[in-house]
């Protein structure tokens, strides 16, 4: 058994679209016009490297590369095979993802046509492979050219574009026919950059006598006696006529130590064999989401020995856990909607993931690592992988496993009806889902499969759907559940997001996208008033969002030297289609008149408003006793813009990152007022109970007046509960704050009741003091304190420096320890400041 990766040293050229697959021999004869490239490769990448096009994500350069989707693209790879390699009984070529319409040739032989980027092209090429030099040729196109308005028919009016919001180049109804990432044709948050390329790995595998085709591990039960795991191994015997005596070995190890090992003799029939058995893991180390425990992972190794040959399956990490979707009936009208893991209800918290680049093939392992580690550090325990993107690179799932981030995984259907009345389309979807469910089922992070994004809601609501025609229903209601129940029934399935009850986007059953009531509504006041989110009554929020600008360095990067004019065409290109002057209106409401703001102040106050809206709204959702999920839109960006995210395209933390991190704290106090009473809710996502003394009451901003009392608090593990209620009283909350502050437990931050906009407050100037500055091999730590109330405390260290917290408020006399992930920051570099508007 031997495997050769073919990712290096490819050549690429373009021809006219009319240059079809039948011209493959003519293309191979051309000596000039080839660009060098490696895989993964989108055709934009070598063109950028050769200075043939400008970076499409800067300025408005993407308009200059529109010609790319009007060409055919030819990838050529010359490689050599040894005599030993071609002796294998089966030699498979795998092209893991081809975007989108592809024809594959080996040594002049047409191996086949592929119509989807969502499952691999795999074929036994033993009869076509030769010792010595071989030539692999792949013709690709972006895919839309196969479909016309006549093909669209009645689907055309049921495909979302951004035309109605004035972005005429964003969106193409033909995308519904093409099985590739839907977002590349433009969305409210990204430009039209139709991708095309070999976007994952390519390899050859030579196998002799047999091969281990799959290994599936399922946690069947967990008890005080241990965990029982069901294991299924599929082995293929290549001898079509004879059985074969074989021995398989299965081993699980934890932290390098073998935990269980099974060795068993089996008779392998010709073709596919399935071997089922169970193992018992004593005192198992369970996999837990971030904050709820450790995301413990076991290493799984499998091999089969038969006919003097050993076949080895790629080792993988497996987390012992049981995940369920809890739909318990609450009353005659409502049902719970919650993820239960290992018997504990998880309060899900996180964001929506989109592809991290408009040219998604160039997202590096380092970028995946950074984004997912930043999510973990921001206290995420869930990421929703949105259905307009793609089935991600393997590193995405591996890092979610390692960091304890559960995945709500949409299937790749978004904001459109789909032509499942066509037999070829249904066949493509079946192949896609069969592959992906088998490929991803062993990941501990896989928490839920979801059929699509917003298609039920759209059909039922804004599209005004036609009775009897719901294109795509066959995919979500029949094909997907059938395949999931066959391949991975242990992972819950939900038909759509949002979905549930008579109204697909209702509050009583299922999950909800909370858009029209706030950010996507026409009422500007509701768009910029955080208290609107206190009205939420849904059971699980999977989408809602607020808009804010990027950091300065990122803004300068994507503006690419263009004037920083918020009325310019380029600025508007890099502004979300739903922005509609929301940032300016928010600044005016919460801080100051924006007419004469400097660019730096626009970014500062715009970012603070973004943080305020996200932080408050997430707290509002977590505060609700019958809401079990708070996922905001969206976590990451595919290019630089004034938009939804808390980490921008260039991996800079926006100030809103820290607001979200605080809102998602594993130990959290939240205050809300209703009917003259203040209620304090405590949340403990962790395994440990906490006891502490809590001071609560009122303090003036200058600290001179204080009316407070203390009580003893017990905050149980895995809990959300009301800790106390008290009368608001007639305090002047323009000159002071109602608060709840742990006296003897620094692990839990103070809670402050929001009663007015910052603009309405009458603050005293605060004096910020740094003490106990320490530097060691892990970074920097210090304590920041204040005499008076301090709002949005920050340190002016630049966009690249990551702190444990920033842009936070301090009560009079309060102190906070700050950690900085840097070995070069000195105390003189710190320039502590807060927002004070006399």
Band of residue 837 on the pLDDT scale cut at 50, 70, 90: confident
Is the predicted pLDDT of residue 382 greater than 70, yes or no?
A: yes
HSE at residue 375, side-chain half, CA atoms within 13 A, is 33
Band of residue 463 on the pLDDT scale cut at 50, 70, 90: confident
Question: Do the domain assignments include residue 386?
Answer: yes
pLDDT tens string 73-119: 999 999 999 999 999 999 999 999 999 999 999 999 999 999 999 99
Measured CA to CA, the distance from residue 565 to residue 569 in angstroms comes to: 9
Q: What are phi and psi of 754, to 5 degrees?
A: -80, 125
How would you classify the pairing of strands 298-306 and 244-254?
antiparallel
Domain boundary among 449, 471, 501: 501
Is the predicted pLDDT of residue 466 greater than 80, yes or no?
A: no
Tell me: cis bond preceding 634? Omega within 30 of 0 counts. Answer: yes
Quick one: 78 and 198 in the same domain? yes
Is the predicted pLDDT of residue 764 greater than 90, yes or no?
A: no
Is the predicted pLDDT of residue 630 greater than 80, yes or no?
A: yes
Question: Do the domain assignments include residue 331?
Answer: no
Arithmetic mean of pLDDT, 578-602:
96
Question: Do the domain assignments include residue 323?
Answer: no
Measured CA to CA, the distance from residue 183 to residue 190 in angstroms comes to: 8
Arithmetic mean of pLDDT, 491-508:
98
pLDDT value of residue 414? 99
Quick one: 749 and 807 in the same domain? no
Quick one: 199 and 254 in the same domain? no
pLDDT tens string 183-238: 999 999 999 999 999 999 999 999 999 999 999 999 999 999 999 999 999 999 99
pLDDT value of residue 751? 98
Quick one: 283 and 392 in the same domain? no
Run of H or E including 434 = helix 423-440
pLDDT tens string 712-725: 999 999 999 999 99
**Nearest in space to 722 (alpha carbons), one of 623, 628, 621:** 623
In this structure, what CATH number is given to the domain that contains residue 367? 3.20.20.80
Question: Do the domain assignments include residue 751?
Answer: yes
Arithmetic mean of pLDDT, 562-569:
94
**Nearest in space to 420 (alpha carbons), one of 483, 370, 375, 478:** 478
Q: What is the pTM of this model?
A: 0.98
Question: Do the domain assignments include residue 383?
Answer: yes
Quick one: 410 and 556 in the same domain? no
Question: Do the domain assignments include residue 748?
Answer: yes
pLDDT tens string 510-524: 999 999 999 999 999
Question: Do the domain assignments include residue 329?
Answer: no
Q: Give the rounded distance of the alpha carbon of 299 from its chain centre.
A: 25
Band of residue 149 on the pLDDT scale cut at 50, 70, 90: confident
Band of residue 468 on the pLDDT scale cut at 50, 70, 90: confident
pLDDT tens string 349-374: 999 999 999 999 999 999 999 999 99
Helix (H, G, I), strand (E, B) or coil at 702: coil
In this structure, what CATH number is given to the domain that contains residue 17? 2.60.120.260
Arithmetic mean of pLDDT, 604-621:
99
**Helix, strand, coil percentages in the chain from 3-state DSSP, rounded to 5:** 25, 35, 40
For the purposes of burial, counting CB atoms within 10 Å of the CB of 712, is it exposed (0-12), middle (13-18) or buried (19 or more)? exposed
Quick one: 10 and 139 in the same domain? yes
Run of H or E including 754 = none
Domain boundary among 629, 664, 699: 664
Arithmetic mean of pLDDT, 286-290:
99
Quick one: 368 and 407 in the same domain? yes
Is the predicted pLDDT of residue 664 greater than 70, yes or no?
A: yes
pLDDT value of residue 467? 66
Mean pLDDT of the chain: 97
Is the predicted pLDDT of residue 59 greater than 80, yes or no?
A: yes
Beta strands, E only, 125-166? 132-141
Is the predicted pLDDT of residue 744 greater than 90, yes or no?
A: no
β-strand partners of 102: 114, 140
Quick one: 142 and 79 in the same domain? yes
% of residues, the chain, pLDDT over 70 = 100
**Nearest in space to 679 (alpha carbons), one of 691, 671, 667:** 671
Quick one: 546 and 405 in the same domain? no
β-strand partners of 702: none
Measured CA to CA, the distance from residue 787 to residue 769 in angstroms comes to: 9
DSSP per-residue string spanning 158-219: GB--SGGGT-TTS--GGGGGSBS-GGGEEETTEEE----EE-S-EEEEEE-SEEEEEEEEEE
Beta strands, E only, 342-481? 344-346, 348-353, 382-385, 406-410, 446-450
pLDDT tens string 395-430: 999 999 999 999 999 999 999 999 999 999 999 999
User: Under 8 Å CB-to-CB from 464, ≥6 apart: which residues?
Assistant: none
Between these two residues, 619 and 822, which has the higher pLDDT value? 619
Question: Do the domain assignments include residue 509?
Answer: no
Domain boundary among 740, 761, 782: 761
Is the predicted pLDDT of residue 828 greater than 90, yes or no?
A: yes
pLDDT value of residue 746? 87
Quick one: 696 and 742 in the same domain? yes
In this structure, what CATH number is given to the domain that contains residue 239? 2.60.40.10
Measured CA to CA, the distance from residue 1 to residue 310 in angstroms comes to: 8
pLDDT tens string 157-166: 899 999 888 8
Q: What are phi and psi of 222, to 5 degrees?
A: -130, 125
Q: How many domains does the chain have?
A: 6
Question: Where in the sequence is the domain holding 486, given as residue range(s)?
Answer: 341-501
pLDDT value of residue 838? 79
Arithmetic mean of pLDDT, 285-292:
99
Quick one: 391 and 491 in the same domain? yes
Quick one: 292 and 441 in the same domain? no
């Amino acid at each position: 058994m031997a495997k050769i990766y073919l990712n290096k040293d490819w050549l690429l050229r373009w021809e006219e679209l009319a240059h079809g697959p039948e011209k493959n021999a003519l293309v191979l004869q051309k000596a000039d016009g080839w660009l060098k490239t490696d895989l993964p490769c989108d055709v934009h990448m070598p063109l950028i490297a050769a200075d043939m096009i400008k970076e499409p994500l800067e300025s408005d350069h993407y308009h200059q590369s529109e010609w790319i989707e009007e060409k055919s693209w030819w990838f050529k790879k010359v490689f050599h095979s040894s005599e030993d390699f071609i002796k294998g009984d089966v030699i498979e070529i795998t092209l893991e993802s081809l975007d989108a319409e592809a024809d594959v040739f080996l040594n002049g032989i047409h191996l086949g046509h592929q119509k989807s980027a969502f499952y691999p092209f795999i074929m036994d090429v033993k009869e076509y492979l030769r010792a010595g030099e071989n030539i692999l040729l792949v013709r690709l196109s972006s895919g839309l050219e196969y479909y016309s308005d006549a093909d669209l028919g009645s689907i055309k009016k049921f495909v979302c574009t951004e035309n109605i919001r004035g972005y005429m180049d964003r969106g193409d109804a033909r995308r519904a026919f093409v099985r590739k990432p839907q977002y590349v044709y433009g969305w409210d948050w990204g430009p039209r950059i139709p991708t095309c390329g070999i976007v994952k790995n390519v390899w050859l595998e030579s196998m002799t006598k047999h091969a281990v085709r799959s290994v599936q591990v399922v946690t069947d039960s967990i008890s005080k006696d241990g965990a029982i795991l069901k294991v299924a191994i599929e082995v293929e015997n290549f001898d079509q006529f004879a059985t074969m005596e074989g021995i398989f070995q299965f081993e699980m190890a934890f932290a390098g130590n073998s935990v269980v090992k099974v060795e068993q003799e089996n008779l392998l029939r010709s073709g596919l064999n399935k071997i089922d058995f169970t193992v018992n893991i004593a005192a198992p180390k369970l996999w837990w989401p971030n904050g709820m425990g450790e995301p413990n992972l076991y290493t799984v190794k499998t091999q089969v020995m038969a006919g003097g040959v050993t076949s080895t399956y790629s080792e993988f990490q497996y987390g012992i856990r049981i995940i369920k979707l809890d739909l318990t009936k609450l009353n005659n009208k409502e049902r719970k909607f919650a993820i239960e893991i290992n018997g504990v209800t998880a309060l899900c918290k996180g964001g929506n993931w989109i592809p991290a680049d408009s040219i998604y093939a160039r997202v590096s392992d380092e970028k995946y690592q950074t984004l997912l580690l930043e999510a973990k550090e921001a206290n995420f325990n869930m990421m929703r992988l949105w259905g307009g993107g793609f089935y991600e690179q393997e590193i995405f799932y591996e890092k979610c496993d390692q960091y304890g981030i559960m995945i709500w995984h949409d299937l790749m259907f978004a904001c459109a009806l789909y032509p499942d009345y066509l037999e070829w389309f249904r066949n493509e979807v079946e192949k896609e889902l069969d592959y992906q469910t088998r490929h991803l089922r062993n990941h501990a992070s896989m928490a839920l499969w979801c059929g699509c994004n917003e298609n039920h809601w759209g059909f039922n609501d804004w599209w005004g759907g036609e009775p009897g025609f719901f294109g795509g229903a066959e995919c979500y209601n029949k094909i997907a559940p059938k395949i999931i129940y066959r391949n991975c029934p242990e992972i819950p399935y939900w038909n759509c997001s949002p979905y549930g009850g008579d109204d697909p986007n209702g509050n009583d059953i299922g999950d909800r996208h909370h858009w029209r009531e706030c950010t996507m509504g026409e009422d500007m006041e509701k768009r910029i008033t955080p208290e609107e989110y206190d009205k939420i009554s849904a059971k699980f929020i999977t989408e809602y969002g607020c808009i804010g600008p990027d950091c300065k360095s990122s803004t300068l990067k994507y503006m690419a030297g263009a004037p920083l004019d918020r009325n310019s065409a380029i600025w508007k290109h890099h502004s979300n289609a739903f922005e509609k002057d929301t940032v300016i209106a928010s600044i005016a409401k919460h801080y100051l008149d924006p007419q004469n703001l400097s660019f730096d102040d626009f970014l500062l106050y715009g970012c603070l408003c973004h943080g305020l809206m996200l932080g408050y709204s997430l707290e509002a959702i977590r505060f609700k006793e019958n809401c079990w999920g708070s996922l905001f839109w969206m976590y990451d960006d595919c290019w630089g813009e004034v938009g939804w995210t808390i980490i921008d395209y260039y991996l800079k933390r926006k100030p809103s990152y820290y607001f979200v991190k605080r809102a998602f704290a594993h130990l959290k106090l939240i205050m809300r007022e209703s009917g003259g009473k203040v209620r304090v809710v405590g949340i403990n996502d962790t395994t440990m109970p906490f006891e502490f003394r809590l001071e609560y009451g009122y303090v003036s901003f200058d600290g001179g007046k204080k009316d407070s009392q203390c009580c003893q608090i017990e905050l149980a593990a895995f809990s959300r509960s009301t800790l106390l209620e008290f009368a608001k009283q007639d305090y002047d909350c323009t000159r002071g704050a109602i608060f709840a502050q742990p006296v003897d437990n620094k692990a839990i931050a103070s809670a402050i009741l929001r009663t007015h906009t910052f603009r309405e407050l009458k603050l005293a100037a605060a004096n910020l003091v740094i003490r106990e500055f320490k530097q060691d091999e892990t970074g920097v730590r210090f304590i920041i304190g204040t005499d008076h109330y301090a709002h949005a405390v920050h340190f002016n260290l630049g966009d690249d420096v990551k702190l444990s917290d920033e842009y936070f408020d301090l009560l009079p006399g309060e102190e906070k320890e700050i950690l900085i992930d840097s070995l070069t920051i000195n105390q003189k570099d710190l320039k502590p400041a807060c927002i004070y508007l006399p």
